[in-house]
Structure 1
Amino acid sequence: MLDSKHLHTAVQVGAGLALNVFPAIFIAIYARIAPIDTQGFLALALVVGVYVAQLFNAFVVEGRLATPDAEGDLGLPLWVVLLTIASGALLVIGPAVATTAALMTSSVGVMTGLLMARSIGVVSGAWKREGLGAAVLIVASAIALWMSVQHNPQCVRVLAVGAVLAVLVRYRPGRALPRMGFPPDVRRSSWVTAETAVVGVVQPAITSLLLVMVGPAASVTFRVISTVAGAVEPILAYGRYRLLAHGHRGELAPFTVVFVAAMVAVLIAAFGGLGSLIFGPAWRDVGVAALLLACLWKGFMLLSTVPFAALRKAGKTVPVFWIRGASTVIYLMISVGFLLVWHAPAAIFLSFVVAEMITALIYHRAAVKDASDYAAAFGLRQLRERLS
């Protein structure tokens, strides 16, 4: 029987997996009720929404975690809740196939609420609220997906209501951050946000290139594969926050085991027919090679997460910014080069694998130099001693 620690971890990880439910089901619904051009724009809107959400999350949450002497408990700011409600209302009161402006606005607002509520839930350890919020979102998404199969125009509204409720469940008025979440160290939070902005621009840029160079079908396929492989992204995020809060000692082994198990489960489910069942027509162009490459890319992200967290925990925000900036340049250069040669999503994921390998090596060298705890565990001398 699971002890309380393992139960809490399992619930938190499961709640993190639910974070990807909203964009995945949104794409699956539009694959059934919207024209291909609108599907292509939705793919772009969702990736932009995730990008903007990451910026807000970096400034408010991660910047605070990178400030060792910050006071007060983390709590979801009221403005995030209001933004989520207003953004979700656009989908509730509007037509099932929304305008481009409504799609972009709702994607930004809802994803900001879901991501920030999730991040704060992980750090605060509020596993019961996390579990309840995830359950609400999953149930609403399942109902919305079933309705879309029946071509019921209310499906998008059900999905939007579920996302808003998932954020409201996590909101605790008495625990909101002081000063509406404004960080205690603006300079440090600005560096954290800047590095997030630099590294996060890859996905919107590549999605836009695919939309323009290859067409909306390719951008939808790219987004579907990214979403499936991204099912393990919340585990990476959970592990990153745990490593930031507690360091790698005692955290790395269970983090790795959960990640590998989740990746195997994702591949079995995807190839076992669940991908086609959920995404319907949008799954038609998903290739085995592209999906395997996408999962391999996420695996290499596991390698870079550990030295990244060690540097961030050591307060090395400026070096991390420059590393992430260099990584973005590497990603974009290799991705554009591969895309010009092979006009297919698989080429993008192959370029991501190569770029992430290079990034992991850069992080490792920097962490050995600037993060003493990481160097003590993973430095070349220590590794030689273990092998001897």
Structure 2
Amino acid sequence: MPDSRHLHTLVQVVAGLALNVFPAIFIAIYARIAPIETQGFLALALAVGVYVAQLFNAFIVEGRLATPDAEGEPGLPGWVVLLSAAACGLLVIGPAVASSAVLMAGAIGVMTGLLMTRSIGVVTGEWKTEGFAASALIVASVIALWMADQHNPHCVRVLAVGALLAVVVRYRPRKAMPRMGFPPDVRRSSWVTAETAVVGAVQPAITSILLVMVGPAASVTFRVISTVAGALEPILAYGRYRLLAHGHRGELKAFVAVFTAGMVVVLVAAFGGVGSLIFGPAWQGVGVAAMLLACLWKAFMLVSTVPFAALRKAGKTVLVFWIRGASTVVYLAISVGFLMVWQSTAAIFLAFAVSEMITAVVYHCAAVRGAPDYAAAFGMRRLRQRLGQ
């Protein structure tokens, strides 16, 4: 059927959006039941949780994708399920407003399970399973948010159970990776993990700086805006994995179209009342300028994703590491400089947009030289051919 591919893409993207549901609803619940100091620490815990999850995902999943001669499809290691179950268990057995240690451990375990299962689902193309997992998490999140409005102490427990279901539904014991997921090429996976570690450090670092310099309210606002704009991240991740697995040919147009549609939906929902409905009191500090700048930042990430994936697919893991390392320095330097001058969340997202635009230019120049397929499609020779037509 001609529409089957579009249906699969839609389900995969919606399933990716569900990945962002857990931190969004967790913040929304705590905005209703927890003091602002605990909300500020939760924002930091979720940033750290996403960061650690990205490291595991980079070493096991992305490192495998960056190994051209790796055999077989990736599967979920059993220890990831156990880690997620333990993290969810902490949130279930404890009080609704948990201690700092439980929040940190819970965020790390849950986000690791959700991100890794999501990444493997994209690569393997099991769209039906992704749909079931996303549905479980979304339904549990809606129920948990309603319970939080009623100040029901079981709201966090329901959210945790939904997250665990989203992980367990995707687990296939017979398809688990050999050697507990240990990558076939440790050196290459280490470079991929190192570059992810360097880039991923920006979010927890900025969240910590905001928490110290401006206060917990600003930290929560930053996390709320990042989470809303992060609804576009699953689309970027989906496109990145498709580009890594299949190259840009035949994938790019659909990628751009879905991203554009996603950005329109996010902005309409955010400014149409959905943001305040979901996040409640935590939405009060969100400004229009900051939200628009956050979406502009994600748009520049779309531009940089294409040459980045081309370099990664070509096996240029060392080169990508150094580019991403330099990009992180640029991000932190510009962000801290803007924050010291304006001390606002809008300044942070403006800095992010400028930094990503610089990064995109660097990736393009490197891919033209180091990725033949990309150079053939986007190099100067191809550009002259198009202009000459």
CA deviations on 1:272-322 (whole Å, 9 max, x unpaired) are: 000000000000010000000000000000000000000000000000000
Give the match for residue 213 of structure 1: 213
Q: Distance in 2 between matches of 1:170 and 1:385?
A: 46
**Letter in structure 1 aligned against 2:322:** W
Q: Distance in 1 between matches of 2:57 and 2:144?
A: 27
Q: Distance in 2 between matches of 1:205 and 1:383?
A: 39
Q: Distance in 1 between matches of 2:234 and 2:175?
A: 24
**Letter in structure 1 aligned against 2:20:** N
Q: Which runs of 5+ in 1 are unaligned?
A: none
Q: Give runs of ≥4 in structure 1 deviating > 3 Å.
A: none
Give the match for residue 128 of structure 2: 128
Give the match for residue 117 of structure 1: 117
**Letter in structure 2 aligned against 1:143:** I
Q: Distance in 2 between matches of 1:119 and 1:68?
A: 18
Give the match for residue 346 of structure 1: 346
Mapping 1:57-72, distance limit 5 Å: 57-72=57-72
3-state SS of paired residue (2:273): helix
Q: Distance in 2 between matches of 1:285 and 1:311?
A: 39
C-alpha displacement of 1:5: 1.3
Give the match for residue 26 of structure 1: 26
Mapping 1:236-255, distance limit 5 Å: 236-255=236-255
1:386 equivalent to 2:386? Answer: yes
1:173 equivalent to 2:179? Answer: no
Q: Distance in 2 between matches of 1:384 and 1:153?
A: 64
Q: Distance in 2 between matches of 1:305 and 1:243?
A: 9
3-state SS of paired residue (1:76): coil
Q: Distance in 2 between matches of 1:380 and 1:334?
A: 30
3-state SS of paired residue (1:276): helix
Q: Distance in 2 between matches of 1:256 and 1:176?
A: 32
C-alpha displacement of 1:328: 0.1
CA deviations on 1:246-284 (whole Å, 9 max, x unpaired) are: 000000000000000000000000000000000000000
Q: Distance in 2 between matches of 1:210 and 1:384?
A: 46
Q: Distance in 2 between matches of 1:169 and 1:16?
A: 15
Give the match for residue 319 of structure 2: 319
1:52 equivalent to 2:58? Answer: no
Give the match for residue 188 of structure 2: 188
C-alpha displacement of 1:4: 1.5
**Alpha-carbon RMSD:** 0.7
Give the match for residue 36 of structure 2: 36
Q: State TM-score, norm by structure 2.
A: 0.99
C-alpha displacement of 1:326: 0.2
Give the match for residue 197 of structure 2: 197
Give the match for residue 99 of structure 1: 99
Give the match for residue 8 of structure 1: 8
Q: State TM-score, norm by structure 1.
A: 0.99
3-state SS of paired residue (1:37): helix
C-alpha displacement of 1:381: 1.9
Give the match for residue 306 of structure 1: 306
1:293 equivalent to 2:293? Answer: yes
Q: Distance in 2 between matches of 1:218 and 1:325?
A: 27
1:345–1:2 distance in 2 versus 1, CA, 3 Å = farther
Q: Distance in 2 between matches of 1:132 and 1:2?
A: 23
3-state SS of paired residue (2:307): helix
Q: Distance in 2 between matches of 1:198 and 1:351?
A: 17
CA deviations on 1:61-88 (whole Å, 9 max, x unpaired) are: 0000000111122111000000000000
Q: Distance in 2 between matches of 1:19 and 1:181?
A: 22
Give the match for residue 234 of structure 1: 234
Percent identity for Structure 1 against Structure 2: 80
**Letter in structure 2 aligned against 1:304:** S
Give the match for residue 88 of structure 1: 88
Give the match for residue 150 of structure 1: 150
**Letter in structure 2 aligned against 1:107:** A
3-state SS of paired residue (2:315): coil
CA deviations on 1:101-149 (whole Å, 9 max, x unpaired) are: 0000000000000000000000011111100000000000000000001
Q: Distance in 1 between matches of 2:37 and 2:166?
A: 29
Q: Distance in 2 between matches of 1:4 and 1:104?
A: 41
**Letter in structure 1 aligned against 2:338:** F
1:269 equivalent to 2:298? Answer: no
Q: Distance in 2 between matches of 1:277 and 1:299?
A: 25
3-state SS of paired residue (1:254): helix
C-alpha displacement of 1:55: 0.1
Q: Distance in 1 between matches of 2:9 and 2:234?
A: 13
Q: Distance in 2 between matches of 1:128 and 1:181?
A: 24
Q: Which runs of 5+ in 2 are unaligned?
A: none
**Letter in structure 2 aligned against 1:186:** V
Q: Distance in 2 between matches of 1:205 and 1:63?
A: 24
